[in-house]
Amino acid sequence: MSEEAWKKANVDESAYWEIFTCEVETLKHQDIYMQALGITQDYYYEPDRSLNMSGLNVLDVGGGPASILLRTNNNLPNRPHDGLNKGVVIDPVMITDHQKLRYDFHDIEFIEDQAENIDKYYSEKGFFDECFIYNCLQHVVDPLKILDKITAVSKRIRIAEPLNVPTDHMHLHMFTENYFDEYFSQDRFTCHDKTITAIGSCNHYVGLFHID
């Protein structure tokens, strides 16, 4: 995928997110993927409807202005848990000042850069306890490079990516189930869950993999 085509797609993606991220739509988007990825089942804290990820380092790849990490409620007073140890979102999408303030308020680092460059910021093997990537890889320059880079710095990955969606000016790659099966068949991955799940209008490859 050419850098020029990606840059045009990123401008359009940024414009879409600026319209999309009203609070109601943000919550719907987060809830759908939290459930699919098993995050709700593992971390949901019912009393205040937040995520209890106390003490964890978590990376959200392509979370844009509506990352699931915003549900950890870092830095809010009188909470029964401490939120994240370190929360990081990496995404080249151009977010607004208001959206940046939400991340600042929750003490979550937003890196406005391509995920292919995560090792410029974090390079320690297994630094992140969790890595989330959902509805992202269609929009990037080099999906395999991203998978290699993010799994190198993570202990496990939760993935939910659309399958068999035709390409267009904003969706630059089309993926099959076999594409991801081949990637995660490497010896360094241990599969704890893998399904094909309908999310929205298309099936997604959904998996939880531990990384050796």
pLDDT in tens, 52-81: 898 999 999 999 888 999 888 766 666 666
Separation between Cα atoms, residue 141 and residue 89, nearest integer Å: 18
pLDDT in tens, 170-179: 788 999 999 9
- pLDDT at residue 65, rounded to an integer: 86
Question: Quick one: CA torsion of 89, 66, 72, 105, rounded to 10 degrees?
Answer: 80
Strand-strand pairing, 109-111 and 130-134 = unpaired
- pLDDT at residue 148, rounded to an integer: 98
| C-beta separation of 66 from 17 below 8 A | yes
pLDDT in tens, 104-129: 888 899 999 999 999 999 999 999 99
- pLDDT at residue 24, rounded to an integer: 44
Question: Who has greater pLDDT, 190 or 46?
Answer: 190
Supply the CATH number for residue 51's domain: 3.40.50.150
Separation between Cα atoms, residue 127 and residue 180, nearest integer Å: 23
- Judge whether residue 11 has pLDDT over 90: no
pLDDT, average across residues 18-43: 76
Q: What percent of the chain has pLDDT over 70?
A: 83
Token pair of 184 as six digits: 């995660």
The structural domain count of the chain equals 1
What residue numbers bound the domain in which 167 lies? Answer: 3-211
- Judge whether residue 142 has pLDDT over 60: yes
Q: Which 8-state DSSP code applies to residue 78?
A: T
Q: Which of 67, 75, 72 is nearest to 56 (CA)?
A: 72
